[in-house]
Chains A and B, each alone.
Chain A
Amino acid sequence: MATGQENLLDAVVVPQEHQNLRKQLALAVKGIQWSYAIFWSISSRQPGVLEWGDGYYNGDIKTRKTTQAVEFDADHLGLQRTEQLRELYDSLSTAETNPQARRPSAALSPEDLTDAEWLPGRTLANNKTIWLHNAHYADSKVFTRSLLAKTLVCFPCLGGVVELGISELVLEDPKVIQHMKASFLDIPYQMRTSKCFSEAARIEKDFVCPKLDQDIMEYSLDPVVECEDVNLHSPNDGSNGFELKLEEPIMFEGASQVQSWQFNDDECSNCVQTSMSSSDCISQAALSPEKDVPVIPSEPKENNSCLVDLQECSHTTLASFDSRKNDIHYQSVLSTLFKTSHPLVIGPGFQNSNNVSCFISWKKGGMSGRQIAKRGTPQRLLKKVLFEVAQMHGKSLLKSREAYERLEKLSRPEPDDLETYHVLSERRRREKINDRFSVLGSLVPSAGKVPISQFFTLSFKSEDIILMKFLAVFVQVDKVSLLDGTIEYLKELEGRVKKLESSKEGGEMEVRTQRKPHDVAERTSDNYGNDKIGNSKKPLVNKRKACDIDETEAETNQVLTKDDSLTDDLTVSVIDRNVLVEIRCPWKEGLLLEIMDATSKLHLDSHSVQTSSVDGILSLTIRAKVWTFSTDFLLPGYT
Chain B
Amino acid sequence: MENSTQESHLRSENSATYDSPFPLYAMAFSSTPPTPNHHRRVALGSFIEDYNNRVDVVSFDEETLTLKPNPSLSFDHPYPPTKLMFHPNPAASLRRASATDLLASSGDFLRLYEVRDSSIEPLSVLNNSKTSEFCAPLTSFDWNEVEPRRIGTSSIDTTCTIWDVERGVVETQLIAHDKEVHDIAWGEAGVFASVSADGSVRIFDLRDKEHSTIIYESPQPDTPLLRLAWNKQDLRYMATILMDSNKVVILDIRSPTMPVAELERHRGSVNAIAWAPLSCRHICSGGDDAQALIWELPTVAGPNGIDPMSMYSAGSEINQLQWSAAQPEWIAIAFSNKMQLLKV
List which B255-314 residues lie within 8 A (CB) of chain A.
265, 267-272, 276, 278-282, 288-294, 296, 307-313
Question: Within 8 Å of chain A (Cβ to Cβ): is B15?
Answer: yes
A383-B243 contact in complex given A407-B130, A422-B209, C-beta closer than 8 Å: yes
Question: Within 8 Å of chain B (Cβ to Cβ): is A255?
Answer: no
Q: How far does the alpha carbon of A381 sit from the alpha carbon of B81 in the complex, in Å?
A: 12
Contact partner of B310 (CB less than 8 A), chosen from A360, A385, A426, is A360
Question: Within 8 Å of chain A (Cβ to Cβ): is B142?
Answer: no
Cβ contact within 8 Å between A2 and B233: yes
Nearest chain B CB to A238 CB, angstrom units: 35
Query: What sequence of 0s and 1s flags, for each residue 103-132 of chain B, a beta carbon within 8 Å of any chain A beta carbon?
Result: 000011000000000000000000001111
Cβ contact within 8 Å between B309 and A330: yes
Question: Within 8 Å of chain A (Cβ to Cβ): is B179?
Answer: yes
Cβ contact within 8 Å between A357 and B343: yes
Q: How far does the alpha carbon of A379 sit from the alpha carbon of B159 in the complex, in Å?
A: 24
A356-B156 contact in complex given A379-B244, A381-B47, C-beta closer than 8 Å: no
A400-B271 contact in complex given A337-B282, A361-B309, A385-B80, C-beta closer than 8 Å: no
Cβ contact within 8 Å between A379 and B134: no
Contact partner of B13 (CB less than 8 A), chosen from A356, A360, A419, is A356
Cβ contact within 8 Å between A392 and B79: yes
Cβ contact within 8 Å between A1 and B146: yes
Determine the chain B residues whose CB is within 8 A of the CB of A361 once the complex forms.
309-311
Nearest chain B CB to A9 CB, angstrom units: 8
Question: Within 8 Å of chain B (Cβ to Cβ): is A588?
Answer: no
Secondary structure at chain A's binding surface: helix, strand, loop or mixed?
helix
Determine the chain B residues whose CB is within 8 A of the CB of A375 once the complex forms.
288, 317
Interface residues on B, range: 35 or more
Query: Which of B4-12, B35-43, B67-75 contacts its partner?
Result: B4-12
Question: Within 8 Å of chain B (Cβ to Cβ): is A439?
Answer: no
Minimal Cβ-Cβ distance residue in B for A349: B329
Q: How far does the alpha carbon of A367 sit from the alpha carbon of B9 in the complex, in Å?
A: 13
Q: How far does the alpha carbon of A51 sit from the alpha carbon of B188 in the complex, in Å?
A: 33
Cβ contact within 8 Å between B131 and A410: yes
Question: Within 8 Å of chain A (Cβ to Cβ): is B214?
Answer: no
A368-B134 contact in complex given A4-B146, A340-B278, A419-B170, C-beta closer than 8 Å: no
Interface residues on A, range: 35 or more
Query: What sequence of 0s and 1s flags, for each residue 369-410 of chain A, a beta carbon within 8 Å of any chain B beta carbon?
Result: 010100100111111111011111111010111011011001
Cβ contact within 8 Å between B289 and A389: no
Query: What sequence of 0s and 1s flags, for each residue 219-252 of chain B, a beta carbon within 8 Å of any chain A beta carbon?
Result: 0011000110000111100000001100000000
Query: Which of A208-216, A472-480, A611-619 contacts its partner?
Result: A472-480
Contact partner of B14 (CB less than 8 A), chosen from A356, A386, A419, A426, is A356
Determine the chain B residues whose CB is within 8 A of the CB of A399 once the complex forms.
134
Minimal Cβ-Cβ distance residue in B for A417: B130
Q: How far does the alpha carbon of A306 sit from the alpha carbon of B145 in the complex, in Å?
A: 48
Question: Within 8 Å of chain A (Cβ to Cβ): is B148?
Answer: no
List which A409-426 residues lie within 8 A (CB) of chain B.
410-411, 418-420, 422-423, 425-426
Q: How far does the alpha carbon of A543 sit from the alpha carbon of B318 in the complex, in Å?
A: 76
Contact partner of B137 (CB less than 8 A), chosen from A339, A353, A364, A393, is A393
Nearest chain A CB to B168 CB, angstrom units: 14
Question: Within 8 Å of chain B (Cβ to Cβ): is A207?
Answer: no
Determine the chain B residues whose CB is within 8 A of the CB of A427 once the complex forms.
175
Cβ contact within 8 Å between B307 and A359: no
Cβ contact within 8 Å between A380 and B317: yes
Q: How far does the alpha carbon of A393 sit from the alpha carbon of B325 in the complex, in Å?
A: 32
Contact partner of A423 (CB less than 8 A), chosen from B25, B175, B317, is B175
Q: How far does the alpha carbon of A385 sit from the alpha carbon of B282 in the complex, in Å?
A: 26
Question: Within 8 Å of chain B (Cβ to Cβ): is A338?
Answer: yes
A384-B47 contact in complex given A338-B329, A401-B157, C-beta closer than 8 Å: yes
Determine the chain B residues whose CB is within 8 A of the CB of A391 once the complex forms.
137
Query: What sequence of 0s and 1s flags, for each residue 46-78 of chain B, a beta carbon within 8 Å of any chain A beta carbon?
Result: 010101000000000000010000000000001
Minimal Cβ-Cβ distance residue in A for B128: A407
Cβ contact within 8 Å between B293 and A367: no
Q: How far does the alpha carbon of A394 sit from the alpha carbon of B269 in the complex, in Å?
A: 30
Question: Within 8 Å of chain A (Cβ to Cβ): is B136?
Answer: yes
Cβ contact within 8 Å between B267 and A337: no
Contact partner of B309 (CB less than 8 A), chosen from A338, A362, A386, is A362
Cβ contact within 8 Å between A356 and B222: no
Cβ contact within 8 Å between A368 and B14: no
Cβ contact within 8 Å between B313 and A388: no
Q: How far does the alpha carbon of A2 sit from the alpha carbon of B234 in the complex, in Å?
A: 7
Cβ contact within 8 Å between B159 and A423: yes
A403-B172 contact in complex given A359-B344, A360-B310, A381-B317, C-beta closer than 8 Å: no
Question: Within 8 Å of chain B (Cβ to Cβ): is A333?
Answer: yes
Determine the chain B residues whose CB is within 8 A of the CB of A393 once the complex forms.
78-79, 107-108, 137
Nearest chain A CB to B200 CB, angstrom units: 12
Contact partner of A472 (CB less than 8 A), chosen from B11, B129, B146, B179, is B179
Query: Quick one: which of B209, B272, B342 has the most chain A CB within 10 A?
Result: B209
Determine the chain A residues whose CB is within 8 A of the CB of B271 once the complex forms.
379, 381-382
Question: Within 8 Å of chain A (Cβ to Cβ): is B324?
Answer: no
Question: Within 8 Å of chain B (Cβ to Cβ): is A271?
Answer: no
Determine the chain A residues whose CB is within 8 A of the CB of B205 once the complex forms.
none
Query: Quick one: which of B91, B271, B308 has the most chain A CB within 10 A?
Result: B271
Cβ contact within 8 Å between A384 and B49: yes
Cβ contact within 8 Å between A358 and B10: yes
Cβ contact within 8 Å between B309 and A389: no
Q: How far does the alpha carbon of A472 sit from the alpha carbon of B289 in the complex, in Å?
A: 31
Determine the chain A residues whose CB is within 8 A of the CB of B173 once the complex forms.
419-420, 422-423
Question: Within 8 Å of chain B (Cβ to Cβ): is A259?
Answer: no
Cβ contact within 8 Å between A400 and B146: no
Q: How far does the alpha carbon of A427 sit from the alpha carbon of B290 in the complex, in Å?
A: 42
Cβ contact within 8 Å between A480 and B343: no
Contact partner of B269 (CB less than 8 A), chosen from A5, A379, A423, is A379
Query: Quick one: which of B234, B289, B313 has the most chain A CB within 10 A?
Result: B313
Determine the chain A residues whose CB is within 8 A of the CB of B47 once the complex forms.
381, 384-385
Query: What sequence of 0s and 1s flags, for each residue 151-169 of chain B, a beta carbon within 8 Å of any chain A beta carbon?
Result: 0000011010000000000
Q: How far does the alpha carbon of A361 sit from the alpha carbon of B310 in the complex, in Å?
A: 4
Contact partner of B156 (CB less than 8 A), chosen from A367, A400, A419, is A400
Query: What sequence of 0s and 1s flags, for each residue 62-83 of chain A, a beta carbon within 8 Å of any chain B beta carbon?
Result: 0000000000000000000000
Cβ contact within 8 Å between B80 and A366: no
Would you list 18 pairs from A and B whose C-beta atoms are within 8 A, ordered by A residue? A333-B309, A334-B344, A337-B329, A339-B279, A356-B14, A359-B312, A372-B289, A381-B271, A382-B319, A383-B243, A385-B25, A389-B137, A390-B156, A391-B137, A393-B78, A399-B134, A469-B197, A472-B197
A interface with B by C-beta (< 8 Å): 1-2, 4-5, 9, 12, 330, 333-334, 336-341, 345, 349, 353-362, 364, 366-368, 370, 372, 375, 378-386, 388-395, 397, 399-401, 403-404, 406-407, 410-411, 418-420, 422-423, 425-427, 430, 458, 461, 469, 472-473, 476, 480
Known contacts A337-B282, A361-B311, A403-B136; 9 further A-B pairs (Cβ under 8 A) = A1-B232, A12-B91, A333-B296, A341-B328, A358-B343, A378-B288, A382-B227, A393-B137, A473-B222
